Amino acid sequence: MKFSRLAVIGLLLGLLMAISVAPAAAQELPRNETLYFNGQQWGSVVGWNPYSSNNNNAMAITQADSARVIMFETPYLYNMLDGQVYPLLADGPYTWNDAHTEITFKIKAAAHWSDDTPVTAHDVAYTWATHVKYMTPTGAGNVDYIEDIVAADDSTVVIKAKLSDDGTAVNPLIVQAYVSTNYVIQKAWTETLEARANFDATALLADTAEDVVYSGPYHGYFWDESKVIYIRDDNYWGQDASMWGKLPVPKYLAHNIFADNAAGTTALKAGEVDVSQQFNSNVQDLWLVDGLPISTYLPEAPYGIGASLPTAFYNLNSHGLDNVAVRKAIAIAVDYPTIIANAMTNQSATFEQVPRSLMNPTAGEQAMYDHAAVADLQWAGNDIEGAKALLDEAGIVDTDGDGWRELDGQPLRYVATCPNGWSDWQAAIEVVAAAGAQIGIDITTNYPEWSVYQTVVTKSDAPLPEGYDIFMMWSDGAGPTQPWSRIRKLLSSEFIGMTSNWNGNWGGYSNPEADALIQAIPTVTDEAQLKEMYTELVRIYLTDVPSFTLMYRPQSFHTVNESVWTNFPYDGDGTNPPVPPLDMTDGWGIAGLYNLELVNP
Amino acid sequence: MRYMLGQIFSSVRFRIGFSIFAFILLTVLIYPLIITEPPLKTISRGTFLSPGIYVNVYDSIGFSPQYTLLLDGAAERRIAAKLNADDRASMKEWLVKAGLPEESIDTQDTAALLEVWHANFDPTIRLPGMTNADRNYYIRLNTALDGLLATEGATIAVPDATTGALKEQAVVDQTSYVNIYEVPNSRVFPLGTDNFGRDVLTELVAATGVSLIIGFVAGTVATVIGLLLGLISGFLGGFVDDAIIFVTNLFTVIPSFIILILITFSIGQDKRGAITIAVVIGLTSWVWTTRAVRAQVISLRNRDHVNLSRLSGHSTAYILMADIFPYIASYVVMAFILQVSSGILAEAGLSILGLGPRTTEVPTLGLMMNWGMIYQAHILGKWWAYFPVILVIALITFSLNLMQTGLDRVFNPTLRE
């Protein structure tokens, strides 16, 4: 008796000590000052180095078409809903010179770093110089298109495009995308980093940079293997009237690190997550069946704005897949409505609603090609008879009576594949395989681990190995270079032969006509001519079928629980310019952080 | 033999276990004769349809005889299905927030409530404290209320082939009924559908069959290896015994499920068929059979009849088969039953980890659980996609274990009643 009482007291004392020495951040954050996320951060944060791509710090560092700007900032913010860019660090719109070879923009006078020094044009120029000097991913991706970025004075930035022999910019689209895609990093801090890394590229990129200087409204506050928390910088320059005029509403942004989607969904249902960037299957059940205060950007299916085109690529070196009749037959036989209803649980527009092309379902891109001109080529799927007729006509029939068709005496036998555990993709690939059986083509499925899959698929300097006949990969979403960049990555032969091809055309398609159009488009400004060129590309794509889109997918899943916070962006919320459903962290989507309100203030 | 069977079947445990197992086995054998549809066929567009009878709406309107039934309370039930007490309270809340006096709203009088609602509700208004989820709810509710109090029937119209103008085809009265058995197309899903839109019951029956085969193959492989090694090691002794027991001990200390995971992972998904998985399970689970058989053989090898057989010049193989095996046969049968049951569990465990057989070919119980989990059936409350699977696994292992303990009571002298 005596002993147990002592033990209890000892235990309590121990607990008390444990609590008092734990870091402040590990304690409960005030719920009505914290916005909780899921689906953006998997595994623990490695570093804070904006030059490196190995930080595993997705919330803070993601340079993309709609760049994530809670900690580091880009000169402009891209808005996927209206296709415009809006100034952030920049002051007013950027201008091209008359020859269309240089972009000029100013930096806002109010913009300053977290150490209170002003953001200047020299920072922008030095950021670029560093990217090139150490060949960071950003440097490598842009060095063929950008000659230099210089500071004309303290506040004026000039981006000089690389010129081709005739004196025009090689690719003005990529040059202008730079301003909304890439962060501005402080020159003084970069110099410190370089000195620390001894001017060695490997050491520079491996630096975890916990002392990094930033210009955005949030910065790292606490991070371990269970969560990452960002805290607001109340000295943030953006509260100046020339930008937002106020601070973003939540004091903390927190992201618990969940084991998998199921754990994330459970937390969302419990109200422990406010903004969910993950695939929640049958998301409508959360409000229709469970009656939870959860909603998506659109109240009805497809619930979000489709932006990218998850695509099944054909390996054009596989036996029979070099034959367009086989490629087209499989593509038109696939039951797309079932993929969309079952694999995506209706979180994609259907191909009846948005007929297939190379464009995503946004109104802006849909207007870029002539629908009537390619209507005969578009298919909605499930056309088993059509597929059979196509194969019969091409002389691809079952000659030995085993139920499978042969071409040149060899049966058509394929493996359809995608990474293991990517549930909606796996379910889609199962539907593709089922279509094969119906038209006499033997398709089985296989799901390698992602680590294996990515190495195999992105190695474009040799034919794909066995087992990769039909394989799924992504396409670009919405962005300032779209739809051109997506089309290039689906069709351009320039990626064949790359040792590490993270761009596209993994199946090895090559068509000089398509290549010429892709090369020409960036310099064309006449809209009628552009539309004609895009229509021609759609025609080539739907005729040759080097790959086929299986579904439309939103740029980000954007599901919100309004137990604590409300006034998240939704379709028709009256914001102008409209705030896109990008979890309030990406591109112009960050504007949503300034509109949040508490449900119970 | 007959006496022995009588003995075995006199055990209540064995009888219960045998009945359950026989029922499962018969279902697996007979069900496919009645429902001939392939088990992996996608039937429903839309996932996790709940269990029930699905009647073709088109057919029930146009192709089935209609009857008039005058049932009490039909209209009330119809209204309640679209407008329950919570909805009424929510409507009142909205109206009060919009500025209407609370006492002017009677939530019980449907007609009056709808009148006030239609006169005041505006989907574009966002009242203070109202979330977007609330707003969506009110818009859905408002749509559902459309025509709620109508007493006339619904008109079915078809577009004219040439002009496209709608032409009245039929009127469906509120008192019209069809007999489900007279509708040309209807489908029973006793256990609903899964994430692929497959009929769960059909898939479950097929999966049970495959899992039983996996268990049987795994059990056979494990028992054969275990038995052979145990016999040889126990009977020969000496260096052979040391060598076999050394390997056995190695496998004993490393948890067999870990070895199983490592082997299946290294085989690669493309080569993992159901039978391959079964063989791998068998190859990793023979250890205990070996040890037990060896122990038994050691106690038998110096018995008089064995020595006699040896003196008669019989070969080792003959002695093992004729003089030793019959004494341990009952034990081996019991061990085999347990191996079958643990083989089924091992497959389920592997598949839940995503290391089970490849998916397009055959369904297994573990794969059904795996896909149910991937599509979050357990979180979304779609019990029919995973609970029947758990139940079947539990019933199979339970029945096998019951049969085993029943046998034990008959064969084990110390337990014999």
What pLDDT, in 10s, does the model give residues B1-15? 788 788 888 888 899
Q: What is the pLDDT of residue A21?
A: 44
Q: Evaluate if residue B170 carries a pLDDT over 90.
A: no
Give the mean pLDDT of chain B: 88
User: Does the beta carbon of B144 lie under 8 angstroms from any beta carbon of chain A?
Assistant: no
User: Does the beta carbon of B376 lie under 8 angstroms from any beta carbon of chain A?
Assistant: yes
Place of tokens 């068709």: A405
What CA–CA distance (Å, rounded) separates B235 from A155? 92
* Residue B122 pLDDT grade (very low, low, confident, very high; cuts 50, 70, 90): confident
Q: Evaluate if residue B194 carries a pLDDT over 80.
A: yes
Q: Among residues 346-405 of chain A, which lie with CB inside 8 Å of chain B?
A: 346
Measure B352 CA to nearest chain A CA, in Å.
11
Q: What is the pLDDT of residue B415?
A: 66
Question: Rounded to 10 degrees, what is the CA torsion of A13, A18, A19, A21?
Answer: 120
Cβ–Cβ below 8 Å for B360 and A261: no
Q: What is the pLDDT of residue B7?
A: 82
CA angle (B313, B314, B318) in 5-degree steps = 170
The SS3 call for residue B337 is helix
Q: What is the pLDDT of residue A27?
A: 58
Q: What is the pLDDT of residue A563?
A: 94
- Give the length of chain B: 417
Instruction: Name all domains of chain B by residue range, CATH numbers in brackets.
Output: 2-44+195-411 (1.10.3720.10), 57-69+151-187 (no CATH), 84-144 (no CATH)
User: Does the beta carbon of B266 lie under 8 angstroms from any beta carbon of chain A?
Assistant: no
What CA–CA distance (Å, rounded) separates A393 from A325? 9
Cβ-Cβ contacts under 8 Å between A and B: the total is 105
Residues of chain B above pLDDT 90, percent: 39
Q: Evaluate if residue B407 carries a pLDDT over 90.
A: no
The model's pTM is 0.85
Q: What is the pLDDT of residue A2?
A: 44
Q: Which of B317, B384, B387 is nearest to B48 (CA)?
A: B384
What pLDDT, in 10s, does the model give residues B70-116? 999 888 888 888 888 889 999 999 999 888 888 888 888 888 889 88
Residues of B in contact with A567 (CB under 8 A): 132
Considering the domain A218-302+555-598, what is its CATH architecture? 3-Layer(aba) Sandwich (3.40)
Q: Which of A428, A458, A415 is nearest to A310 (CA)?
A: A428
Cβ–Cβ below 8 Å for A338 and B137: no
Domain boundaries, given as residue ranges, for chain A: 63-198, 218-302+555-598, 306-554
Residue A588, amino acid: W
Considering only the beta carbons, identify the residue of A265, A467, A573 that sits closest to B270: A467
Residue ranges in chain A modelled with pLDDT below 70? 1-27
Backbone angles phi, psi at A304, to 5 degrees: -140, 180
Fold: same for A63-198 and A306-554: no
Q: Which of B324, B322, B258, B268 is nearest to B295 (CA)?
A: B324
Helices A384-393 & A324-333 angle (0-180, nearest 10): 170
User: Does the beta carbon of A599 lie under 8 angstroms from any beta carbon of chain B?
Assistant: yes
Q: Does domain A306-554 have CATH number 3.10.105.10?
A: yes
Measure B57 CA to nearest chain A CA, in Å.
20
Q: What is the pLDDT of residue B218?
A: 94
Q: What is the pLDDT of residue A424?
A: 84
Place of tokens 């670029």: A128
Backbone angles phi, psi at B185, to 5 degrees: -120, 115
Question: Hey, what CATH topology would domain A63-198 get?
Answer: Dipeptide-binding Protein; domain 1 (3.90.76)
Q: Evaluate if residue B144 carries a pLDDT over 90.
A: no
Report ipTM (2 d.p.).
0.81
Q: Evaluate if residue B411 carries a pLDDT over 90.
A: no
Q: What is the pLDDT of residue A3?
A: 45
